[in-house]
Amino acid sequence: MPSRRCCRILDLSRNHNDSTVSSTASTTIARLRCIACGATPDSAGQDFRCANCGDLLEFFFPEWTFDPAALKALWVDRKTSRRSLDQSGVWRFRELLPHIPEEHAITLREGNTPLYQLPRCARIAGLDMLHAKHQGMNPTASFKDTGMTFAASSAHHNGFRWVACASTGNTSASMAAYAARGHMHSLVLIPEGKISWGKLSQALDHGALTCQLRTDFDGCVRILNELVRQKPVYLLNSVNPYRIEGQKTAAIELLEQLGWEPPDHIIVPGGNLGNSSAIGKALLEMRELKLIARLPKLSIIQAQGANPFYRSVREFHGTKLEPMSADTMATAIRIGSPASWKKALRVLQATGGEVEQVTEVEIAAAKAEIGADGVGCEPASAVTLAGLKKLTQRGFVKPGESVVLILTGHLLKDPDFTVKFHRGDLFAGTKDENEARQTQSLQRAPVVLEADLGAVIGALDTAERNS
């Protein structure tokens, strides 16, 4: 397999010296550090793990000093710019990211996602007000695009022909799109039969070499880790610290949308735990830079059938994580051995957040409730509302507090789940069939009628009486 470059991956150079920035930014350097042993290598290997101890690497910025007011003003100014980098909701915040030369930036104008109020969901959760930042409104309809624009650009910068990931579906969809935009080839490893057709169709359409392996996500990760040691392919899973840096911007954009007034709580779904790590890293960095005065509590919610992090925190106080065989209909977070659990634990503890687990029926109900607020999301995103209900019941979240849910994927990512739910088929024949009866009032099955005006008027009248 021809490659332009394969061994030294990371180019650690000076931060952006944009002429518009010079009054705002000091020149700073992005460095790598191992999260466990603290080693600070100049470059990372193909697997992005510490050469000393094998743990994950992260970026840090030892010389960071910014004028917070000037930085905020600069980011607002860029909103009216016609430069593609400025129009991206990721690259707009490039002062807080490692440097990648502009000619290598691959952008689909990701980020820029809306912050919605969810009034019905707020009432259901017992809150005065509730917001959702909808990362499913990204170009490939999931939060992965914010990390992918940055990490795919790093692959391009380093001359790779091939990029690769193991995925439960969204990473592969995003990677395939960004690779295609950057004229790179992409290799996708997905668990056979365990990802939604919507996500698979995206990878196919964007030209990825898509391998459906007869294993689960964790099995795909194992094979990919071996592969990158033997072949010159660039790893685009969230162990790649460039992914985390790009995903940080969701939190920066959120705080900007809130006028830099931090909410009391941010709630995220937990799968491989890259997203929670990224959002938490951004919060800590924003406080360090005095962009915000206090930290929101970052809480992480897992599906009960895929809850290794929940168990790590609750049973072992974060001292260890026991991998498990994961199972949930929220296939995006069907992960038994999350790579970034130590990073997530650190931000959970630093922000004073909580962990929760939610059942399959609770996920399905919460998804329908978010849908009924006119927003909608995929099942994995709905764990946030399901978990929030538990956090309010426990008194961890108080009625008057401000809460933001991070919705990670679009409703149309997994239409099968939604249609089955509304037809009442989702739990048929499963152990959850009885518990699922509680969700009947949320179901809106389609009605089949003769092509007859009277029949339609009858259906309308019935619906009006029941509303």
C-beta closer to ligand F0G: residue 270 or 387: 270
The token duo for 332 is: 């995006």
Interacting stretch for ligand F0G, rule CB under 6 A, among 162-170, 258-266, 285-293, 349-357? Answer: 162-170
142 with 410: CB under 8 angstroms?
yes
Give me the least distance between CB of 42 and ligand F0G, in Å please. 27
Could you say which of 272, 307, 384, 402 contacts ligand F0G (CB under 6 A)?
272
C-beta closer to ligand F0G: residue 104 or 311: 311
Give me the least distance between CB of 417 and ligand F0G, in Å please. 12
C-beta closer to ligand F0G: residue 34 or 411: 411
> What whole-number distance in Å separates Cα of residue 382 and Cα of residue 384?
5
Give me the least distance between CB of 344 and ligand F0G, in Å please. 8
Q: Does 170 bind ligand F0G (CB under 6 A)?
A: yes
> What whole-number distance in Å separates Cα of residue 375 and Cα of residue 386?
16
Q: Does 269 bind ligand F0G (CB under 6 A)?
A: yes
Could you say which of 146, 171, 312, 384 contacts ligand F0G (CB under 6 A)?
171
Q: What mask of x and - would describe binding to ligand F0G in positions 218 to 247, judged by CB under 6 A?
A: --------------------x---------
350 with 269: CB under 8 angstroms?
no
Is the dihedral angle over the CA atoms 57, 49, 98, 146 positive or is it negative?
Answer: negative
Residues 390-449 that bind ligand F0G (CB under 6 A): 408-409
Length of the chain counted residue by residue: 467
> What whole-number distance in Å separates Cα of residue 172 and Cα of residue 195?
11
Interacting stretch for ligand F0G, rule CB under 6 A, among 74-82, 125-133, 320-328, 375-383? Answer: 375-383
Give me the least distance between CB of 359 and ligand F0G, in Å please. 17
Q: Does 87 bind ligand F0G (CB under 6 A)?
A: no
Report the candidate in 111, 161, 160 with the shortest Cα–Cα distance to residue 138: 111
C-beta closer to ligand F0G: residue 98 or 271: 271
Residue 466 CA: distances (Å) to CA of 70, 239, 366, 374, 461 = 55, 50, 21, 19, 9
Q: Which residues pair with 300 in a beta bridge?
A: 268, 355
418 with 399: CB under 8 angstroms?
no
Spacing of C-alpha 348 from chain mean position:
16
Q: Does 167 bind ligand F0G (CB under 6 A)?
A: yes
> What whole-number distance in Å separates Cα of residue 406 and Cα of residue 247?
12
Could you say which of 240, 275, 328, 392 contacts ligand F0G (CB under 6 A)?
275
| Radius of gyration of the chain, Cα coordinates, nearest whole angstrom | 22
Size of the site for ligand F0G (CB under 6 A): 23
Site residues for ligand F0G per CB under 6 A? 142, 144, 167-171, 238, 269-276, 332-333, 378, 380-381, 408-409
